[in-house]
């Protein structure tokens, strides 16, 4: 009888170090990462190479990369049981990306809608990296033979490109890459702006009242929720046309585990002021352990550096197997 433990399926998730994640990022994805790590072989990374597509001060990028790594560690993602690393510390990503460029058609890369959107936002810096970063994203995924990738709606095209590249390469050279699938697990909530509840909460929102940062203080969180847009009905219920209240109910449900029916019952006859305060308090308690852990970790630069080094070594060990196989198949002489 074979008692060899069955290998877990692999999930890859990377996040850019552009700024501290929002409550929307946390409830929509990050909160589920720890749960995922119990069931899957998880690889979590800080995508600092992707951050270079826009101009950023070098000192800012270095600082934000350390902060993001500390944030991942603060989510209780045990670096002993998961691979937690910084993208640029693992050279296989960039090396595989160049090879995959040669197996990506210009036309299919040109169809990426995010390039068009970001070109409009950064009209003074439409660089090749901005055009090509979906291929680097494909390399991120394929170099680890990832079975699953958790993605939002804005990344579906990019995952499809990674699948196309993998299929094309496998068709030419035989089975080389695992063709990745979108991760269908515990669905994260879609959290909207507190000031425009028809738009997704974003850390790049010009209105500081629109989003809540994972590291916002309790006082700031309370003020932001008090100013959240609602409606004139003054009835806490989930219904069409009540985007602001629907958003607050979603946030409250994520933080408390209560159903919409329970929330409606608990706040029957109460005003929006009471409900906003309750939502703020629930968010404060939800974020408290993350904030406390982050405050401890961010002070320990040696620990952050140690985790980065260890994570990069593990990531390199796994990814180098794929890169060597690819190099051999395309005919690169390895000596």
- For 220, what's the count of Cα atoms within 13 Å in the CB-facing half-sphere? 12
Please name which of 64, 63, 65, 21 lies closest in space to residue 291, comparing C-alpha atoms: 21
Which of 8, 34, 116, 118 is the catalytic position? 118
Please name which of 194, 190, 219 lies closest in space to residue 205, comparing C-alpha atoms: 194
CA–CA gap between residue 321 and residue 180 (Å, rounded): 17
CA angle 323/71/38 to nearest 5° reads 65
Please name which of 151, 132, 39 lies closest in space to residue 93, comparing C-alpha atoms: 132
Q: Are 28 and 187 in contact (CB under 8 A)?
A: no
100 phi-psi bin (left φ>0, alpha ψ -120 to 50, beta other): alpha
Q: Are 83 and 42 in contact (CB under 8 A)?
A: yes
Q: What are the strands of the beta sheet with 148-149, ordered from one edge?
A: 83-86, 41-46, 10-15, 148-149, 181-182
3-state helix, strand, coil in the chain (%, to 5): 55, 5, 35
Is 203 a known active-site residue? Answer: yes
Tokens coding 43: 């690889």
Which of 8, 116, 200, 223 is the catalytic position? 200
CA–CA gap between residue 141 and residue 135 (Å, rounded): 10
Tokens coding 126: 């439409």
Is 187 a known active-site residue? Answer: no
Chain-centroid distance, C-alpha 301: 23
Tokens coding 145: 């033979």
Is 299 a known active-site residue? Answer: no
Based on its alpha-carbon atoms, the radius of gyration of the chain, rounded to whole angstroms, reads 22
Which of 8, 31, 156, 203 is the catalytic position? 203
Q: Which residues fall within 8 angstroms of residue 127, CB to CB, at 6 or more apart?
A: 53
- Which of the residues are catalytic? 118, 200, 203
């Amino acid at each position: 009888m074979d008692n060899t433990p069955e290998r877990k399926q692999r999930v890859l998730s990377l996040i850019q170090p552009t700024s501290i994640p929002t409550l929307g990022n946390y409830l929509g994805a990050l909160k589920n990462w720890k749960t995922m790590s119990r069931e899957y072989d998880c690889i979590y990374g800080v995508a600092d190479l992707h951050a270079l597509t826009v101009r950023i001060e070098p000192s800012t990028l270095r600082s934000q990369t350390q902060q993001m790594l500390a944030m991942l560690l603060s989510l209780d993602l045990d670096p002993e049981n998961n691979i937690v690393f910084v993208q640029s510390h693992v050279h296989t990503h960039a090396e595989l990306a160049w090879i995959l460029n040669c197996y990506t058609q210009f036309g299919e890369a040109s169809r990426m809608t995010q390039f068009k959107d970001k070109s409009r936002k950064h009209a003074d810096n439409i660089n090749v990296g901005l055009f090509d970063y979906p291929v680097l994203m494909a390399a991120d995924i394929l170099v680890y033979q990832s079975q699953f990738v958790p993605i939002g709606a804005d990344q579906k095209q990019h995952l499809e490109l990674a699948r196309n590249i993998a299929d094309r390469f496998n068709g030419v050279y035989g089975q080389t890459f695992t063709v990745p699938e979108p991760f269908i697990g515990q669905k994260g909530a879609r959290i909207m702006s507190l000031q425009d509840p028809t738009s997704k909460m974003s850390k790049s929102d010009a209105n500081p009242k629109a989003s809540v940062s994972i590291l916002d203080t309790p006082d700031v969180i309370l003020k932001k929720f008090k100013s959240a847009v609602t409606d004139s009905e003054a009835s806490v219920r989930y219904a069409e046309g009540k985007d602001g209240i629907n958003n607050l109910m979603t946030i409250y449900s994520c933080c408390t585990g209560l159903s919409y029916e329970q929330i409606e019952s608990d706040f029957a006859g109460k005003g929006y002021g009471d409900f906003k305060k309750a939502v703020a308090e629930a968010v404060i308690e939800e974020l408290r352990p993350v904030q406390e852990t982050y405050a401890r970790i961010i002070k320990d630069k040696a620990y952050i550096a140690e985790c980065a080094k260890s994570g990069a070594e593990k990531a390199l060990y796994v990814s180098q197997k794929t890169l060597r196989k690819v190099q051999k198949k395309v005919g690169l002489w390895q000596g």
